[in-house]
């Protein structure tokens, strides 16, 4: 157990994608110098699915791997085990899906979500097995040889291939998130994420369509879509500084870290038909995007806890006011 619990602060709860553990998925981001400011203010708890930790032994013969629903329902036990009451979820791919499920079923435990490459659909609609493990785009294969080689090495040498296959099969068997965008004047009981949510995807990622569709299904007053220019399927690895900056703004929008330094991302208002990407002197237009509306900001104080790394096996059995004031979609 590391980190210092702080009063009225949530804990950042991470969950990695298939084929990755918390180190290979988040280490580049969490060891970046810009992340120190967040870590100083908020404890972190890294969670992994059964058998996905580095150097894990092969799961016993006859072991039934948990479904996505079961993995999400194991998270309350993780929080209880460590005495955590509220979290900000940070997930990638399968981890993002699991955290979204968790937030849907336990909204009182989740203050906010940062979902990278989330897919709200069941397998087969906007997915392919080739993209499951690390969401590497063909352009990345051609241009980012070092990144590809690094992650091939990680997966081959640090992950138990049998266990990864079981997690992958579980993810491939997932159902739809079954979320519905609230309609003004409509039912107030629609099933949707009730917390502030930041969706993140690289504009060259094969997950773009799925993430955009997810955005279209969520409450526009509480959801922001961040599309990162010149970025593939691992934005937290490829462009960690931008992801960290977005995370800072997101946390500020929830009423925390009001004095955090901001340098990279710039707030922009976008129309309902286009989105502009800004990076230095460069600009890029993305057309035919979804309807935007005003982002939701909360300033009430929350409760917080501790920092640790944990595999779910060990416990399952026992707004972004400054970043975006008028739009729920932005690119950087």
Give one DSSP letter per residue of 277-330, joined into a string: EEETTEEEEEES-PPP-PPP----------BEEEEGGGTS---HHHH-SS-SEE
Q: Is the pLDDT of residue 138 over 60?
A: no
Cβ pair 37, 114 in contact under 8 A = no
The closest of 173, 183, 253 to 216, measured between CA atoms, is: 183
Cα–Cα dist 19/295, whole Å = 34
Count of CB atoms situated within 10 Å of the CB of 80: 13
pLDDT for 125 beyond 50: no
pLDDT average, residue stretch 287-301: 37
| Cα–Cα distance measured from residue 290 to residue 215, given in angstroms and rounded to the nearest whole number | 8
Q: Are 52 and 164 in contact (CB under 8 A)?
A: yes
d(CA 217, CA 291): 11
Give pLDDT, residue 14. 97
331, two tokens: 């690119």
What sign results for the dihedral spanned by CA atoms 146, 46, 123, 191?
Answer: negative
Residue with token string 């997966």 = 155
- Alpha-carbon distance of 259 to 257, in angstroms, equals 5
In contact, 194 and 223? CB cutoff 8 Å: no
- Look at residue 309 in the predicted model and tell me its pLDDT: 53
* Per-residue pLDDT reduced to its tens digit, 89-114: 999 999 999 999 999 999 999 999 99
Average pLDDT over the chain, rounded to an integer: 77
pLDDT above 50: residue 162? yes
Q: Any idea which residue has 């009063």 for tokens?
A: 7
Which of 64-68, 130-134, 143-147 is predicted most confidently?
64-68
Contact 315, 257 (CB under 8 A): no
pTM: predicted TM-score of the whole model, two decimal places? 0.78
CB-based burial label for 59 (10 Å; 0-12, 13-18, 19+): middle
**Residue 73 to residue 186: CA distance in whole angstroms:** 29
Token pair recorded at residue 148 = 């590809």
pLDDT reading at 319 higher than 70? no
For the chain, the domains span 11-331
DSSP for 95-109 reads HHHHHHHHHHH-GGG
Reported as half-sphere exposure (CB side, CA atoms, 13 A), residue 223 has a value of: 25
Architecture of domain 11-331: 3-Layer(aba) Sandwich (3.40)
Report whether 32 contacts 243 (CB < 8 A).
Answer: no
Per-residue pLDDT averaged across 42-55, rounded?
94
Angle at 271 between CA 270 and CA 273, to 5 degrees: 120
Bridge partners (DSSP) of residue 227 are 201, 331
> Reduced to 3 states, what is the DSSP secondary structure of residue 113?
strand
Q: Alpha-carbon distance 198 to 203, whole Å?
A: 15
pLDDT, residue 331, reads: 62
């Amino acid at each position: 157990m590391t980190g210092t619990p702080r009063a009225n602060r949530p804990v950042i709860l991470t969950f990695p994608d298939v084929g990755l553990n918390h180190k290979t998925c988040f280490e580049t981001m969490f060891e970046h110098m810009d992340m120190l400011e967040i870590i100083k203010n908020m404890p972190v708890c890294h969670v992994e699915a059964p058998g996905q930790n580095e150097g894990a032994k092969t799961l016993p013969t006859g072991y039934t791997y948990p479904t996505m629903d079961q993995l999400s329902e194991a998270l309350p036990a993780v929080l209880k085990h460590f005495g955590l009451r509220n979290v900000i979820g940070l997930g990638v791919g399968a981890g993002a899906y699991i955290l979204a499920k968790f937030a849907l079923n336990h909204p009182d435990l989740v203050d906010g979500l940062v979902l990278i490459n989330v897919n709200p659909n069941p397998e087969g609609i906007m997915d392919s097995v080739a993209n499951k493990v690390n969401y590497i785009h063909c352009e990345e294969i051609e241009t980012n040889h070092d990144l590809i080689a690094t992650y091939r090495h990680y997966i081959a040498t640090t992950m138990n291939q049998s266990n990864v296959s079981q997690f992958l099969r579980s993810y491939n068997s997932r159902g739809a998130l079954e979320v519905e965008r609230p309609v003004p004047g409509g039912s107030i009981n629609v099933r949707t994420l009730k917390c502030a949510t930041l969706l993140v995807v690289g504009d060259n990622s094969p997950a773009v369509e799925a993430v955009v569709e997810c955005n279209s299904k969520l409450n526009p007053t509480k959801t922001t879509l961040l599309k990162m220019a010149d970025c593939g399927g691992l934005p937290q690895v490829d462009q960690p500084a931008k992801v960290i900056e977005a995370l800072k703004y997101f946390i500020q929008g929830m009423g925390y870290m009001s004095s955090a330094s901001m340098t990279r991302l710039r707030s922009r208002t976008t129309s309902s038909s286009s989105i502009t990407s800004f990076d230095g002197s460069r600009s890029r237009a993305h057309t035919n995007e979804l309807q935007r509306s005003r982002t939701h900001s909360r300033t009430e104080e929350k409760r917080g806890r501790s920092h640790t790394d944990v595999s779910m096996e060990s416990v399952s059995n026992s707004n972004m006011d400054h970043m975006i004031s008028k739009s729920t979609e932005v690119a950087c």
